[in-house]
Amino acid sequence: MEQTWRWFGPPDAVQLSHIRQTGATGIVTALHHIPYGVVWSVQEIEKRKAEIAADPSLGLRWSVVESLPIHESIKIGEGDLTVLFDNYRQSLRNLAQCGITTVCYNFMPVVDWTRTELAHPLPGGGTALRFNLHEFAAFDCFMLKRSGAEAEYAPEVLARARTWFDRSSESDRSKLLANIMAGLPGAYDRYDIPGLRVVLDRYREIDAAALRENLARFLREVIPAAEEVGIRMCIHPDDPPRPLMGLPRIVSNENDLAFILGAVDAPANGLTLCSGSLGAGPTNDVPAIARRFASRIWFAHLRNVAKDPDGSFMEADHLGGDTDMVALVTVLLEEQKRRKDAGDPRWRIPMRPDHGHELLDDVGKPTHPGYPAIGRLKGLAELRGVMTAVSALRDLPL
């Protein structure tokens, strides 16, 4: 698999030279400064490519776009969407013109990946991302005060949420709001409580069926254009794979993925296999899901989570947690061999070590939450070892 690394552009504290030291050669990035719904011009794409290639000795290339974000109006199905669809298609054409042909995106409403703790303490002083359901319930029920929210949580979770809220200070509550808003990208908007209520109100009439149809409409609009120029679109699963704040989530399990890939049954309509997002779902068998949809996996995020019975989870070591990473890597390497044997020139699946613990000298550095250098380096090294061993034992191409 092509070993890649997420980079948030020139402001990223993890520099391109650091990325090369990890052994990764592919860069996963986006034009974060361009507002949602606006065309990515050839000039802006080439500028980012030039930044990545500025030092030829690093041998880096822009391998995957993550993400080309979808405007909220498309998710809601609101108003005349002609210009937004036209702009998205033009961005795809421009990316293809510049030689970038793998595009990761998501269809999560309002918020992206969501955690309640960004620095859960680990033994020895490191930190991890964590989602505590009772803290999220406290936010949803007692800070946001969403109508009907309390009925959506188990009694024991609600009781813990009430206890947390009653004991919390204003500082605790402000920190919880900031943590929940921290998922990047594509949610760069930051809301206070009143602002969040306003944006949630736009979804008042949108249930899972309506959101699913809006996604299918998006696919019908853009996949033919992607197919025409050789772009492989790959949808990212919901993180976590459960409704949040009354917002439906429709990319959460095997049935969801079957619907999406069948909505427009074309190779350009593919999947980002995120083992952490899917792995947080209590009924999701991630290696089995990967095996079923292997032929449509164009990108892989490899990380692990350890789940609690109440629906909480913590980001574990890349080879720890609840997902059998050896089994999953085997599925992906076997799919690569199938593609190579079939003569597909793009047979390698780009992968990246997704998220990582904050460790050693990275503790306290101004990196994006979940994206420190050392924790991801550790994860990539572990995953590289698994890939190398499985490849040697099963005679599968790396």
pLDDT of 184 over the 90 cut: no
Phi, psi of 394 (to 5 degrees): -110, 5
In this model, does residue 106 exceed pLDDT 90? yes
Average of pLDDT values for 110-128?
Answer: 95
The residue count for the chain: 398
**Between residues 83 and 67, which one has the greater pLDDT?**
83
- pLDDT-derived band at 188 (thresholds 50, 70, 90) equals low
Location of structure tokens 């036209």? 86
Confidence of residue 189 (pLDDT cuts 50, 70, 90): low
Averaged pLDDT for residues 212-237: 98
Over residues 307-327, mean pLDDT: 97
How much is the average pLDDT of 70-96?
97
Cα maximum dimension of the chain: 62
Supply the residues annotated as catalytic: 236, 274, 301, 354-355, 371
Q: What is the pLDDT of residues 358-397, one digit of tens each?
A: 999 999 999 999 999 999 999 999 999 999 999 999 999 9
Predicted confidence at residue 191, as pLDDT, reads 85
**Average pLDDT value for residue range 257-276:** 98
Read out DSSP for 103-161?
A: EEE---SS--S--SEEEEE-TTS-EEEEE-HHHHHHIIIIIS--TTGGGGS-HHHHHHH
* pLDDT exceeds 50 at position 187: no
- Closest by alpha carbon to 180, among 251, 121, 117? 117
Which residue, among 321, 287, 289, 317, has the nearest Cα to 307 in the 3D structure? Answer: 321
- The sign of the CA dihedral 99, 64, 219, 185 is negative
How does pLDDT run across 149-158, given as a tens digit for each residue? 999 999 999 9
Return the pLDDT at 245.
96
Q: Which domains does the chain have, with CATH numbers?
A: 2-114+201-394 (3.20.20.150)
| Residue 11: CB atoms within 10 Å | 9
105, 131, 355: which is closest to 244 by C-alpha? 131
Give the residue from 253, 275, 262, 254 showing the smallest Cα distance to 215: 262
- As given in the structure block, the two tokens for residue 145 are 């005060």
Say what the pTM is: 0.96
pLDDT at 178 over 70: yes
DSSP letter (8 states) at residue 346: T
- Residue 33 confidence (pLDDT): 92
Query: How high is the pLDDT of residue 223?
Result: 98
Residue-wise burial string across 225-259, b where 16 or more C-beta atoms lie within 10 A, e elsewhere: bbbeeebbbbbbbbbbbbebbbbbbbbbbbebbee
Indicate the SS3 state at residue 220. Answer: helix
Average pLDDT, the chain: 96
Residue partners of 3: CB distance under 8 A and separation at least 6: 23, 24, 25, 26, 351, 352, 380, 384
Segment 197-221 shows an average pLDDT of 96
Note the pLDDT of residue 161. 98
- Please list the residues that pair with 273 across neighbouring strands: 300
Is the predicted pLDDT of residue 186 greater than 60, yes or no?
no
Residues forming beta bridges with residue 306, ordered by sequence position: 314
**pLDDT score for 180:** 94
Residue 316 has a pLDDT of: 98
Give the SS3 label for residue 352: strand
Q: Is the pLDDT of residue 70 over 70?
A: yes
pLDDT digits (tens, 9 = 90+) for 18-35: 999 999 999 999 999 999
Q: How far is CA 301 from CA 34, 57, 115, 296, in A?
A: 24, 26, 18, 14
Residue 154's pLDDT is: 97
* Residue 57 pLDDT greater than 50, yes or no: yes
Query: Looking at residue 297, what is its pLDDT?
Result: 98
Query: What's the pLDDT score for residue 190?
Result: 73
